[in-house]
Amino acid sequence: MSALIEAQGLTILRPGSHDTVLQDVDFRIDPQEIVTVVGPNGSGKSSLIRALLGHMPLAAGRVTRRAGLRIGYVPQRVQVDTTIPMTVRRFLSLPRRVPDEVAARVLTRTGVEGVEARQLTQLSGGQFQRVLLARALLHDPHLLVLDEPTQGLDQPGIVAFYQLIAEVRRQSGAAVLMVSHDLLVVMRASDRVICLNGHICCEGTPRHVSSAPEYRALFGAGSEGTLALYQHHHDHDHDAACLHPHDHAGAS
């Protein structure tokens, strides 16, 4: 089974400086896999995604995408300017025009059937994310790439959105690469979790990751665990297989 995307030794610099955003990152995603990337703000999650998509120059390393790979992409924080009048239907035909029945089909698949005539700016946050997902599904992608797709959604909205992604994966067989803050919800659905903080600090199945006592100490219970992740500072070694106690003063 050949990888959809494979990367070796990725190093990315912050634009206009010599600070590294990512250093020496190896990555691979196989067909039908769900891989989730987690990490604190500024840990290079979005940079990793953009580098894998070829949107960002590499300082070192290389990215190999399988020939003919079709990717459906939902970027972070898409906001369509209110000065652009845009119906959902028109948006789905950017940049490639699609027939009405194809548009209707993807909207139905993502649970927002019948919104074609609505303006993008009139949609709720959840509806808009579903329209973005529908757009990403248009051309039968082998891989869905979702960068924090649930930002701005409330808790029930987040759970529903991940159920939808799992459902879409089941139907289409597409692999899913996701960046997320919603650790506890996301990890259960993932085949593999990558914890990123400028480099890969830990990687494995959710079970493997979550069975580590260090992991429990860090992500233990509910939002408290999530809070700990935001505050974990990296100035320590990474020889252990997975997470180990971090200095996260203030997380209690």
Partner 1 sequence: MLDDFFIRAVLAGLGVAAVAGPLGSFVVWRRMAYFGDSTAHAAILGVAVSLAFNASIYAGTMLVALAMALAVSVLATRGQAMDTVLGVLSHSALAVGLVAISFVPQARSDLSAYLFGDILAVGRGDLALIWAGAAGVLALLAWRWQRLLTASVNEELAMAAGIDPRVERLILSVALAVVVALSIRVVGSLLISALLIVPAAAARGLSRTPEWMAGNATLIASFAVLAGLSASLHLDTPAGPSIVSAAAVIFALSQAFRRG
Would you say 146 and 178 are in contact if contact means Cβ atoms under 8 Å apart?
yes
Residue of 27, 91, 128, 161 that binds partner 1 (CB under 8 A): 91
Q: b/e map of 139-158 (b: 16 or more CB within 10 Å)?
A: eebbbbbbbbbbbebeeebb
Q: Which residues pair with 27 in a beta bridge?
A: 7
Please state the separation of Cα 84 from the chain's center in Å: 27
Residue of 68, 95, 99, 156 that binds partner 1 (CB under 8 A): 95
**29 Cβ partners below 8 Å, 6+ apart?**
3, 4, 5, 35, 143, 175, 177
Residue 75 found at the interface with partner 1 (CB under 8 A): yes
Residue of 23, 76, 172, 226 that binds partner 1 (CB under 8 A): 76
Residue range at the interface with partner 1 (CB under 8 A); choices 6-14, 89-97, 171-179, 242-250: 89-97
Residue range at the interface with partner 1 (CB under 8 A); choices 57-65, 87-95, 195-203, 213-221: 87-95
Q: Is the backbone peptide bond immediately before 15 cis, with ω within 30 degrees of 0? A: no
Would you say 30 and 74 are in contact if contact means Cβ atoms under 8 Å apart?
no
Residue 71 found at the interface with partner 1 (CB under 8 A): yes
3-state secondary structure of 36: strand
Site for partner 1 in 161-190 (CB under 8 A): none
| Residue 87 Cβ vs partner 1, minimum distance, rounded to whole Å | 6
Give the contact letters, 102-141, x = binds to partner 1 (CB under 8 A), - = no: ---------------x-x---------------x------
What residues make contact with partner 1 under the rule CB under 8 A? 50, 53, 55, 71, 73, 75-76, 78, 80-81, 83-87, 90-91, 94-97, 117, 119, 135
